[in-house]
Amino acid sequence: MKIVIYLYNGITMLDAIGPYEVLRNIPDADICFVAEKIGEVQADSGFIDINVNHRIADVHKADILVIPGSTIAFLEEMKKETVLNWIRQIDKTTTWTTSVCSGSMLLASAGLLTDLKATSHWKPLNLLSKFGAVPTRERIVEEGKYITAAGVSAGIDMALYLSNRILGENETKAIQLILEYDPQPMFESGNYSTADEKTIKTAEKKLAKDAKKGLGLLGMLKYSKSIFDMIK
């Protein structure tokens, strides 16, 4: 069971590590973290980097492809023809093609979600429509072999959902217990549709600050105000 997770500079780490931690419990899972180049891939926070040992040019197939999201770096990835071509090629070999958070923007940009429902982090969700997909505010959206998940932590739910499809209920319940995934958040503020206005405003302010930091970091002061407003 070859599971390929695409990493890139500016990635949101939990988007990748959530699904990884679930899927590594699939018997015979062979998880391959891959990037454009071999070497360090830095997270959006700037506090951590992963050492990547495989480059996309050398990885030609996958049973499961996972595309994690990012605070802002996905805008850069969406413009890379090499990356989009690689995604299209791998997708031809997959049983499941999946994304977490803004990772769905890459799948949409590669033309894989045309006229399909898809989700992403709540903030850039509507941007999906610019690339042919139908933005859908749900935690997990399944369209044939394409499974997209909402923001950051939704990757854990998505991977368990996928595990259930692949291994069935018994094994998946055991994986859930191994991860002790018995979530007990103190507040019910994790869903955009039910969060109060104050929480949404505070979150948007924090995201805008992060995006500006990211823009500085990556030298991406080249986006139109309309796109920036959508994603910040």
> By the criterion CB under 8 A, which residues form the site for a copy of itself?
12-14, 17-18, 20-21, 24-25, 30-33, 40, 45, 47-51, 101, 121-122, 139-140, 150-154, 156-157, 160-161, 164, 169-192, 195-196, 198-200, 202-203, 205-207
Cβ-contact 146, 118 below 8 angstroms: yes
Report the nearest approach of a copy of itself to the CB of residue 27 (Å): 8
Measured from the CB atom, the residue of 183 and 219 that comes closer to a copy of itself is 183
Least Å from the CB of residue 101 to a copy of itself: 8
> 88 or 209: whose CB is closer to a copy of itself?
209
Nearer residue to a copy of itself within complex by CB, 41 or 75: 41
Q: Sign of dihedral through CA atoms 54, 59, 61, 67?
A: positive
Smallest separation, CB 49 to a copy of itself (Å): 5
Name the minimum Å distance from CB 223 to a copy of itself: 20
- Which residue has tokens 């995201």? 207
CB count within 10 Å of CB 178 equals: 11
CB of 85 to a copy of itself, least distance (A): 25
Burial readout 102-131 (b: 16 or more C-beta within 10 A, e: otherwise)? bbbbbbbbbebbeebbbbbbbbbbebbeeb
117 vs 139, which CB is nearer to a copy of itself?
Answer: 139
Rounded-to-integer distance, Cα 24 and Cα 90, Å: 20
Contact status, residue 163 vs residue 172, Cβ threshold 8 Å: yes
